[in-house]
Copies of this chain bind each other. A is one copy, B any other.
Amino acid sequence: MTIDQARRAAPTLEAVAAAAGVSRSTVSRVVNGGAQVKPDVVASVNAAIESLGYIPNRAARSLARRRSMAIALVVPEETTRFFGDPYFAEIVRGITTALDDSEYVLVLQLASASGPSANSIRYLLGGNVDGALVVSHHSSDTSLTRLGASLPVVFNGRPLAPTDPPSYFVDVDNAAGAEAATDHLISLGRRRIAIIAGPEDMPPGIDRTTGWRRALQRASLTTDLIVHGDFSQAGGATAMRQLLAADPSIDGVFAASDLMASGAMSVLRDRGIGIPHEVAVVGFDDSRAATSGSIQLTTVHQPSALAGETMAKMLIALLRGEQVEHERILPTRLVVRDSA
């Protein structure tokens, strides 16, 4: 359909009813599906809809249904951070993919990292949206988990601690991913395997450390080589220097993010330490950073677009009044490249 065709004066349900020779109620039933309408009536109504180019008026529909048919995308992050992060890009892509097939529109609500403004909260709770998707690295903010008490909300990533009422969220299996990464290092014969962990107050940081520890313990290896970074490249470099100072015999490193892995590798290279033969490195994320350096990074892939899609579908199910599990954990996958 071209723009020119869509431009005609908007026909109403009333016009369709007149054209099809039925009542407005019947047209409404056909448009919304489900209800019992005789097949030939359905056909003639659809023909009228088609020939008139009828599109339901959202405002009228919302008013009558007492639902806005809108979903908020709440982003409690600095704008530049949000837009600079491919992880968010993938999640949003997944969300829009799922929503394109629905009757819902996505309303963008940027917020500061400290949470949505009073204005935003008024908006969100003022009946302007039927539900919200919160995408952030700070999903566990109090002001946001509270939102879940008044409005159907789905978060990306588990909350730091269980909330009351329990939140709905989609997460990736960070622990299993980290475990697979560490298992891979072990299978390579590495015995002194360090972790450059994430922050201790962020669920992905915590869970990835858990997985690393689990793998080492199963292999009866020690879990003493742990340093925390902030998920950034600079943080990874600093952490690598600390690890090397603590124990020069390290032969494997699992970094809880690709960026930290990349920082660690630059330190190893500067010291002339061979990757992977002397020290093997595995990252996490499978982001662009994994393949943009001179050494292709072995890393844990997380299905971010799928996570976004799953979040949207979960929310829609919730809005339909269906029974929905509070958490949905998606699998990760180890991608073996050159660094380990």
Give the interface of A toward B (CB within 8 A): 1-4, 6-8, 10, 55, 57-60, 62-63, 66, 68, 70, 73, 79-80, 82-86, 88-90, 92-93, 96, 100, 105-108, 110, 118-119, 121-123, 125-128, 143, 146-147, 149-152, 288
The answer to whether B66 and A7 touch across the interface, beta carbons within 8 angstroms, is yes
Supposing A10-B126, A58-B68 touch, asked if A3 and B83 sit within 8 A by C-beta, the answer is no
A139 to B143, CA, bound (A): 38
The answer to whether A106 and B105 touch across the interface, beta carbons within 8 angstroms, is no
Instruction: Give the number of times this chain occurs in the complex, counting copies.
Output: 2
The answer to whether A92 and B83 touch across the interface, beta carbons within 8 angstroms, is yes
A6 to B146, CA, bound (A): 12
Nearest Cβ distance between residue A127 and chain B, in whole angstroms? 5
The answer to whether A107 and B110 touch across the interface, beta carbons within 8 angstroms, is no
Nearest Cβ distance between residue A29 and chain B, in whole angstroms? 21
Question: Chain B residue with minimal CB distance to A126?
Answer: B55
Nearest Cβ distance between residue A7 and chain B, in whole angstroms? 5
A85 to B124, CA, bound (A): 28
A110 contact set on B, CB distance < 8 A:
92-93, 96
A123 to B57, CA, bound (A): 11
| New A-B contacts (18) at CB < 8 Å, excluding given A79-B93, A92-B110, A100-B119 | A3-B149, A3-B150, A4-B146, A6-B125, A7-B149, A10-B126, A55-B126, A55-B127, A57-B63, A58-B127, A59-B59, A60-B63, A73-B108, A79-B89, A82-B83, A83-B86, A84-B89, A92-B108
